[in-house]
Amino acid sequence: MNALRVTGGRVLRPDGRVTESDVTIDRDAGTIAAVGDETVSGERADDADADLPSTADETLDADGGLVIPGLVNAHTHVAMTLLRGYADDKPLDPWLREDIWPAEAELTPNDIEAGAELGVLEMIRSGTTAFADMYFAMDRVADVVDRAGVRARLGHGVVTVGKDDADARADVEESLAVAKELDGAADGRIRTAFMPHSLTTVGEAFLREGVAEAREADIPIHLHANETTDEVDPIVDERGERPIAYAEELGALGADDFFAHGVHLDGSEIDRLADAGTAVVHCPASNMKLASGMAPVQRLRDAGVTVALGTDGAASNNDLDVFDEMRDAAMLGKLAADDASAVPAAAVVEMATAGGADALGLPGGRIEPGAAADLAVVDLDAPHLTPVHDPVSHLAYAARGSDVRHTVCDGEVLMRDREVLTLDADAVRERAAAAANDLVDRVGE
Ligand SMILES: N[C@@H](CCSC[C@H]1O[C@@H](n2cnc3c(=O)[nH]cnc32)[C@H](O)[C@@H]1O)C(=O)O
Ligand SMILES: [Zn+2]
């Protein structure tokens, strides 16, 4: 075995326990071979036939640190890093129409690659190893995912409002084609989805056609759902049914599907999501910044819905740090439930790890023998993390992305001692800043 060993740290296990264990990774397989003396076959490592090397080919020092599953950012538009701080302090609809969509109309594939590099760099530096991305020029995003070494579920976002029939149909076809072409790329680290932007920005006929074809080809569906009341009311007025009932009727409520936001959901919609096994990606920072509302996270979890966390794009957050999302989700979840015991620390950590992996249908999210070797080591010796009464509490409430020391995905070290090995951080930053400045100049002309 070509072994990578993460030594001397405390490990967050899937059941929430924290143990002092070394983690042994099979680099060729990209999986965890052992946690402490627990191996894939259930044998103890000190048994003669437990096939673990006594020395590792590479080690990562986790002394004084907490080894956690790589975090999952289950909804973003990664290249929107170029629009970070470009338009703030507006509600969703005017923000998109007056600021974001006009700027996006000027984006070139080269810009999207530059923005995606910047976003993926930021994610690796904050311990995120997997993300879901809805955007365009997705071949460029896929290339970045491949080079950077992370995992992703990617899709081309479809908008048909304001387009003629031919353009709208072409957008749907492109999303389906991208989902078919990119699936399995980057040695299987890339999976795909059909991604209509939302149930109000894509017309009914296009939704019906696209969803049917996606189902036929076994492609999951990802869209923005029930984000604002402006998105719910027109569906109720025109159709006499709630958006999630409409999604179900379209055939878009499947066990592999995952919807972003789910802010304005009623009890019947929560039940439908739970029955269908469709996951919800909660984006608390975006929901607060655009004043979209408070998602019923505790109620969703009580109903058995898989809940993941997403940053949404950097223009509505304004960073891609999933640690911030954990803290925001816990805080906002309590306010929404009017109950300080709602959405506790362990729940948001689960949402950012196993919940995210399950929502996206990607490996990872759990540190256990046989699981994908996607993990991060968080330093616990900073002043703001002292003392350590409860490491899970720190993950949710006190730690930041900048506390991450190492990041590993698919058995490969992506960041060692805060140095990202797969991307040239200075070059990425310079390229993205230049692309963003040029973009804003073009939009202003
Ligand atoms: N092919 C489409 C692009 C859709 S990509 C997904 C879109 O979602 C937008 N977006 C970002 N954040 C949000 C959000 O919170 N709600 C809804 N849309 C968002 C983002 O700016 C991007 O335009 C077109 O022709 O316009
Ligand atoms: Zn979004």
Atom of ligand 1 nearest to the CA of 135: 5
Is residue 437 in some structural domain? no
Atom of ligand 1 nearest to the CA of 83: 21
pLDDT in the model for residue 54: 83
Residues 397 and 323 in one domain: no
Residues 300 and 353 in one domain: yes
Residues 111 and 52 in one domain: no
Contacts of 27 (CB under 8 A, 6+ apart): 2, 3, 4, 57, 58, 373, 411, 412
For residues 143 and 138, give the distance between their C-alpha atoms in angstroms, rounded to a whole number.
8
pLDDT in the model for residue 245: 98
Is residue 203 in some structural domain? yes
Question: How far does the centroid of ligand 2 lie from the alpha carbon of residue 77, in Å?
Answer: 6
What is this structure's pTM?
0.97
- Other Cβ atoms within 10 Å of 444 Cβ, number: 8
pLDDT digits (tens, 9 = 90+) for 117-153: 999 999 999 999 999 999 999 999 999 999 999 999 9
Is residue 179 in some structural domain? yes
Question: How far does the centroid of ligand 2 lie from the alpha carbon of residue 79, in Å?
Answer: 12
pLDDT in the model for residue 146: 98
Ligand number nearest CA of 73 is 2
Residues 90 and 49 in one domain: no
The number of CA neighbours under 13 Å toward the Cβ of 164 is 1
Question: How far does the centroid of ligand 1 lie from the alpha carbon of residue 331, in Å?
Answer: 26
pLDDT in the model for residue 41: 76
| C-beta separation of 15 from 5 below 8 A | no
- Residue 404 belongs to domain with CATH number: 2.30.40.10
pLDDT in the model for residue 39: 85
Which SS3 state, helix, strand or coil, does residue 204 take? Answer: helix
Residues 205 and 271 in one domain: yes
pLDDT in the model for residue 44: 58
What is the residue-wise DSSP string for 78-144? Answer: GGGGGGTTTS-S--HHHIIIIIIHHHHTT--HHHHHHHHHHHHHHHHHTTEEEEEEEES-HHHHHHH
Largest distance between two CA atoms of the chain: 72
Residues 91 and 33 in one domain: no
- Residue 268 belongs to domain with CATH number: 3.20.20.140
8-state DSSP, 70: P
**Low-confidence spans in the chain with pLDDT less than 70:** 42-51
Residues 258 and 275 in one domain: yes
Residues 218 and 329 in one domain: yes
Question: How far does the centroid of ligand 1 lie from the alpha carbon of residue 157, in Å?
Answer: 7
Atom of ligand 1 nearest to the CA of 80: 21
In which residue are the tokens 């399995």 written?
184
| C-beta separation of 19 from 38 below 8 A | no
Residues 318 and 197 in one domain: yes
Which SS3 state, helix, strand or coil, does residue 377 take? Answer: strand
Nearest protein CA to atom 25 of ligand 1, as residue: 159
Q: Are strands 31-35 and 38-39 parallel, antiparallel or unpaired?
A: antiparallel
Is 222 annotated as ligand-binding? Answer: no
- Segments forming the whole domain that contains residue 55: 3-69+366-420
Identify which of 12, 38, 35, 11 has the alpha carbon closest to the alpha carbon of residue 24: 35
CB of 312 within 6 A of ligand 1: the answer is yes
- Other Cβ atoms within 10 Å of 48 Cβ, number: 6
The CA-atom distances, in angstroms, between 48 and each of 54, 153, 193 are 12, 40, 45
Residues 356 and 371 in one domain: no
Is 77 annotated as ligand-binding? Answer: yes
Is residue 121 in some structural domain? yes
Residues 185 and 222 in one domain: yes
pLDDT in the model for residue 55: 86
Out of 317, 335, 360, a domain closes at: 360
The pair of three-digit structure tokens given for residue 159, joined into one six-digit string = 């908008």
Residue 420 — φ and ψ, nearest 5°? -75, 125
